Amino acid sequence: MELVIRKISIDHLYQLQKIGKTTFTETFTAHNTKEDLDKYLEESFSNEKLSSELNNPYSSFYFAEIEDNVVGYLKINFGASQTELKDNEALEIERIYVLQAYHGKKLGQALYEKAISIAKEMKVNYVWLGVWEENNKAIQFYKKNGFVPFDTHIFKLGNDEQTDIMMKLEL
């Protein structure tokens, strides 16, 4: 089982839409209403939104692939594309998602390490992210990797306002 992590472009829009919707649904269906989930998926993974993000020079997407199958992805932002801080000395990990069938196989860790290596290449001072306060698995993952909470912000999932814990890692 060889893992390949590669940067993607606008040519991969459909695959990104598919992996994005699938992994988000797998992760959050149990904790949200169908209406809120559907509204979020429609807005966040529309052709227009993903095209804009894929064409943004301050955002990058990476696929995790095993035997040419996309099994997860990473989205990072820097500069003005960051969702909150917009600090030129920082890199934001906006998304790390892996298909449930591949959980426990260190793919999330591999995507995380890719983000950290990019942050070090860019010589930023820290990496930050927001994680839903009820996603204990993700919170523990980031704590294990040295992240510490520093603030909270509101994340809108459909019409539901949820609290994200903002965490950072000094480099």
Per domain, the residue ranges of the chain are: 3-128
**Residue 81 to residue 93: CA distance in whole angstroms:** 11
Each residue's pLDDT tens digit, 66-88: 999 999 999 999 999 999 888 99
pTM: 0.95
CA quadruple 141, 146, 148, 154: dihedral, nearest 10? -40
Determine the topology of domain 3-128 in CATH. Aminopeptidase (3.40.630)
CB of 92 closer than 8 Å to CB of 36: no
pLDDT at res. 65: 98
> In which band, very low, low, confident or very high, does the pLDDT at 105 lie, cut at 50, 70 and 90?
very high
The rounded mean pLDDT for the chain is: 96
pLDDT at res. 3: 96
Share of residues in the chain with pLDDT > 90 (%):
96
Mean pLDDT of 147-170: 95
Catalytic residue numbers? 142
CB of 146 closer than 8 Å to CB of 111: no
